[in-house]
Amino acid sequence: MLVIRVESPGLFTTVQDLGRPGFGPVGVSASGAADSVALRLGNRLVDNPEGAAALEMTLLGGALEFPEGARAAITGSDFGATLEGSAVPLWAAFDIRAGGTLLLGPTRSGARCYLCVHGAIAIEPFLGSASTHVLSGLGGFNGRPLRKGDVLPIGPATVITSRERSIPAELLARLTPRTILRVTDGPQSGWFSETSRNILYNSMYRVTEEANRMGLRLEGPAVPANSSSEMITEGVALGAIQMPASGQPIILFVEQQTTGGYPKIANVIAADMSSVGQLRPRDEVRFERVDFNTAMRLLVEQEELIRAAH
Amino acid sequence: MADLGPIRFQPASDQSLLVSFGDEITPAANDGVRRLLLLLESDRVPAVVNLHPAYCSLLVRFDGLRIEHEELETILRSYVARMEEVPMPEPCKVEIPVCYGGEFGPDLDELAAMHGMASDDAVALHASATYTACFLGFVPGFAYLGGLPDSLATPRLRTPRRSVPVGSVGIAGNQTGVYPYSTAGGWRLIGRTPVAMFRPAEGHMSLIAIGDQVRFRPITVREFAKLSDTCS
C-alpha cells in the first residue's frame, strides 16, 4: 500500500473532503474543505472522485515523504512546493517517484493549499466523511491535525486517464479567490439602519488573527445594531456574518457552530465561500450586496466553470 | 397541538431558509420545530442537505443547484400542513450526575448570592426540576434545556470565558445545559458532569436527544472521580 510519511506537518494540516452535512440536528456542523473549489479540482487532476479525502494545509506547509511514490496535484494557494529541488507546478498533476519528499513552505498567496493524491487518503470515514472536525477531535486522522511521524495510507489506484493534466489558465483566472465578498441580506438585516449597513458595505475590514475553520473575526469600522430586540438563539447558515455588540463582524465558516444568538446582518454567497477559505490574518476584504437571484446565478456559473475544467 | 399562529419563511442565505414558529420561546413553538424536524428526517426532501433546529425556528439548508427558496417554501408548507399527524416519540428520561460547586462550579456561590439564597439551596433547586431538551446546537451534543426554576434565571457572564472545561453545567438566562466540549462560553458554571454528552456510536448520537426529559443528580467529588474512571 502507498503511504505518506509526515516528516514535518506544517502549521495546521488536516485531512478534509467535502464534509458531512446532515448532522445539524445533533449540533455537528458539516466541516469539509475550506476551499472546496481547490479540493474538487485537485481531485479531478489525479482522477479521483471530486470529494475524495486530501490534505488541507494552512499558511505553512510541511515535508511529506512518499516511500513508494504517488501521483499528486497541489491546488489552492502557492506554498512554493518543491520536489527533488525542482518547483512543482500548481494546478497540475505530477508523479512522485519512490522515496521522494515533497517540501512546502510558507504561503505566497492565500491561506490554504490542497495536496490530492491518486487513490485519496484512505482513512475510515466518521459519519460518512473523512473530514477532521477539530473541535470535537473526531473524523480525519485521529481527529487532529497531522504530526511528525504520522503515516497516512493512500487508497488503491484506479484508472488514470491521462498523464499530462492541468487546469487551463483562463479558467483559473475566473476562479481566483476574491477579496470583495458578495453577500445577501441576513435574517436580521432589518435590525440595522441604512446608515449601519452602509458602513458595512463601504468599509474595508481586516481579518484578525482569530481566523480559523470555525469562523473569522474581522476588524474595521463598527456596525451598530439599532434594534433593542432580544435575539433568540437560532440556526445559522454557512457564511453568516454575525454582528456582536462590538459591531465587529464574524464570518461563520465550515466548522461553524450550528446555532447562534447574535444578529446576522448578511451572509456570504455560496459561490464566494471558497474565497473565504483563502483569507489570511491581516488580509483586507470588502462586502458587496447582491440579491438572491444574482447569488444563484453566480453559483451556477461557478459550477459550470468547475465542470469545464478537464 | 396548540395553535402556533403564523409560520414565517425567510431566506437566511442563498442556500438556506429559516422557518420560524413565532418570536417567543414557547412550548408550542418548540413543539412545532420538533414536529417539522421529525417529519423532514423521516420523509426527506432530496435537495435539503442539513437541518439546524433551535427554540422556535428551524434552519433548512439546501443545495442551491437543485432547488430555490420559493420552491422549497412550497414543499415545506405542505410538510407544515401534515405536522399534526406526526407521532411524537415518547420522551426518554435522562439523569445526569453533577458535582456542584467548588472548582467544578466556580460561579455557583456568586449565582446563589445574586438570588439571595445559600449555595446548597441553589443546588437543591437546580436538581429538583425536570428539564426539556428543546434542541441540540452550538457544538456536537449540546442540549439547550428549558424549564429552569425562575428563581435561578441569571444573565450570562459579562465577559465570556475563553475556555470552559468539558462537562461544565451552566446557566444562561432561563436555560441550563452541559458543555460537551471545551469551548469559549459565557454561561455561569455551577457544576460539572463526568459523563460524555456526545456519543456518536450510539443511536441518538448524544446522551440527551431533542425532546428528552432531563434531571440532574448531585454527586460528591469522590463519585465524580469514580465515574470519570468508568467513563473514560
Domain at B23, CATH number:
3.30.1360.40
Give, in order, the Cα–Cα distances in Å from A49 to each of A44, A118, A296: 7, 10, 25
B207 and B113, same domain (yes or no):
yes
Look at B49-58, B150-159, B188-197 and tell me which has the smallest mean pLDDT.
Answer: B150-159
Q: Which residues pair with residue A289 across a beta bridge?
A: A183
B101 and B204, same domain (yes or no):
yes
| Domain termination site, one of B62, B85, B108 | B85
Residue type present at position B140: P
Cell of A299: 453559483
B140 and B157, same domain (yes or no):
yes
pLDDT at B158 (0 to 100)? 83
B97 and B161, same domain (yes or no):
yes
B76 and B183, same domain (yes or no):
no
Inform me whether the pLDDT recorded for B231 exceeds 90. no
Q: Which residues pair with residue B21 across a beta bridge?
A: none
Domain-located, residue B180: yes
> How does DSSP classify residue B3?
-
**Cα angle for residues A49, A55, A61 (degrees, 5° grid):** 145
Report, as an integer, the average pLDDT of A101-128: 97
SS3 string, chain A, reads CCEEEEEECCCCCEEECCCCCCCHHHCCCCCCCCCHHHHHHHHHHCCCCCCCCEEEEECECCEEEECCCEEEEEEECCCCCEECCEECCCCEEEEECCCEEEECCECCCCCEEEEEECCCECCCCECCECCCECCCCECCCCCCCCCCCCEEEECCCCCCCCCCCECCHHHHHHCCCCCEEEEEECCCHHHCCHHHHHHHHHCCEEEEEEECCCEEEEECCCCCCCCCCCCCCEECCCCEEECCCCCCCEEECCCCCCEECCCEEEEECHHHHHHHCCCCCCCEEEEEECCHHHHHHHHHHHHHHHHHCC
pLDDT at B13 (0 to 100)? 98
Cell of B152: 435561578
What pLDDT digit, counting tens, does each position of A215-273 carry?
A: 999 999 999 887 666 789 999 999 999 998 889 999 999 999 999 989 999 999 999 99
Share of chain A above pLDDT 90, in %: 91
- Of A272, A279, A289, which is closest to residue A186 (Cα–Cα)? A289
Confidence at B230, pLDDT banded by 50, 70, 90? confident
- Contact between A267 and B13 using a beta-carbon 8 Å cutoff: yes
Residue type present at position A91: W
Residue of A131, A233, A253, A267 to mutate, testing the B interface (most B Cβ within 10 Å of its Cβ): A233
Q: CATH 2.40.100.10 occupies which residues in chain A?
A: 180-308
Contacts of A37 (CB under 8 A, 6+ apart): A175, A274, A302, A306
- Number of domain units in chain B: 2
Other beta carbons less than 10 A from residue A193's beta carbon = 14
Domain-located, residue B212: yes
- Contact between A238 and B69 using a beta-carbon 8 Å cutoff: no
CATH topology of domain A180-308: Cyclophilin (2.40.100)
Whether the CB-CB separation of A115 and A35 falls below 8 Å is answered with no
- Separation in Å, CA of A296 to nearest CA in chain B: 7
d(CA A177, CA A35): 9
B59 and B166, same domain (yes or no):
no
Other beta carbons less than 10 A from residue A248's beta carbon = 17
Inform me whether the pLDDT recorded for B1 exceeds 60. no
B144 and B201, same domain (yes or no):
yes
Classified as helix, coil or strand, B98 is strand
pLDDT at A156 (0 to 100)? 93
- Of B181, B164, B11, B134, which is closest to residue A239 (Cα–Cα)? B11
| Domain termination site, one of B49, B68, B85 | B85
B125 and B223, same domain (yes or no):
yes
Report, as an integer, the average pLDDT of A30-55: 97
B70 and B143, same domain (yes or no):
no
Domain-located, residue B2: no
pLDDT at B232 (0 to 100)? 54
Q: Would you tell me which residues 223-242 of chain A have a C-beta closer than 8 angstroms to some C-beta of chain B?
A: 232-240
Share of chain A above pLDDT 70, in %: 97
- Contact between B54 and A238 using a beta-carbon 8 Å cutoff: no
Is A50 touching B (CB cutoff 8 A)? Answer: no
Is A48 touching B (CB cutoff 8 A)? Answer: no
Residue of B14, B63, B163 to mutate, testing the A interface (most A Cβ within 10 Å of its Cβ): B14
pLDDT at A229 (0 to 100)? 67
Mean pLDDT estimate for chain B: 94
Across the A/B interface, how many CB contacts are shorter than 8 Å? 149
Residue type present at position A98: A
B109 and B224, same domain (yes or no):
yes
Confidence at A310, pLDDT banded by 50, 70, 90? low
> How does DSSP classify residue B229?
H
d(CA A128, CA A23): 11
Query: Chain B: residue nearest A135 by CA?
Result: B181
What residues of chain B lie within 8 A of the CB of A21, using their CB?
49-50, 61
Whether the CB-CB separation of A295 and A191 falls below 8 Å is answered with no
More confident residue, A309 or A32: A32
B109 and B189, same domain (yes or no):
yes
User: Between B59, B183, B200, which is nearest A234 by CB?
Assistant: B59
Is A260 touching B (CB cutoff 8 A)? Answer: yes
Other beta carbons less than 10 A from residue B211's beta carbon = 19
- Contact between B37 and A25 using a beta-carbon 8 Å cutoff: yes
- Of B96, B119, B94, which is closest to residue B188 (Cα–Cα)? B119
CA atoms within 13 A on the CB side of A35: 29
B207 and B189, same domain (yes or no):
yes
Classified as helix, coil or strand, B54 is coil
Domain-located, residue B40: yes
- Contact between B205 and A23 using a beta-carbon 8 Å cutoff: yes
What pLDDT digit, counting tens, does each position of A2-18 carry?
A: 999 999 999 999 999 99
Determine the structural domain holding residue B74 and report its residue range.
8-85
What pLDDT digit, counting tens, does each position of B5-61 carry?
A: 689 999 999 999 999 999 888 999 999 999 999 999 999 999 999 999 999 999 999
What residues of chain B lie within 8 A of the CB of A231, using their CB?
none
Domain-located, residue B1: no
Other beta carbons less than 10 A from residue A271's beta carbon = 25
What residues of chain A lie within 8 A of the CB of B198, using their CB?
26-27, 136
Is A199 touching B (CB cutoff 8 A)? Answer: no
CA atoms within 13 A on the CB side of A299: 23
Report, as an integer, the average pLDDT of B103-109: 98
Whether the CB-CB separation of A83 and A100 falls below 8 Å is answered with yes
What residues of chain B lie within 8 A of the CB of A232, using their CB?
23-25, 54-57
pLDDT at A165 (0 to 100)? 87
User: Between B11, B54, B200, which is nearest A235 by CB?
Assistant: B54
Look at A160-164, A184-188, B98-102 and tell me which has the smallest mean pLDDT.
Answer: A160-164
Classified as helix, coil or strand, B113 is helix
pLDDT at A80 (0 to 100)? 98
Task: State the residue for C-alpha cell 469545464.
Answer: A308
Confidence at B3, pLDDT banded by 50, 70, 90? low
- Contact between B14 and A26 using a beta-carbon 8 Å cutoff: no
Report, as an integer, the average pLDDT of B77-105: 95
- Contact between B65 and A303 using a beta-carbon 8 Å cutoff: yes
What residues of chain A lie within 8 A of the CB of B55, using their CB?
232-234
| Domain termination site, one of B43, B61, B85 | B85
What pLDDT digit, counting tens, does each position of A40-50 carry?
A: 999 999 999 99
Report, as an integer, the average pLDDT of A159-184: 89
**Angle formed by the axes of helices A292-308 and A36-45, to 10°?**
20
- Contact between B52 and A269 using a beta-carbon 8 Å cutoff: no
Inform me whether the pLDDT recorded for B148 exceeds 90. yes
Task: State the residue for C-alpha cell 503515516.
Answer: A151
Share of chain B above pLDDT 70, in %: 97
pLDDT at A194 (0 to 100)? 94
Domain-located, residue B3: no
Inform me whether the pLDDT recorded for B2 exceeds 60. no
Domain-located, residue B137: yes
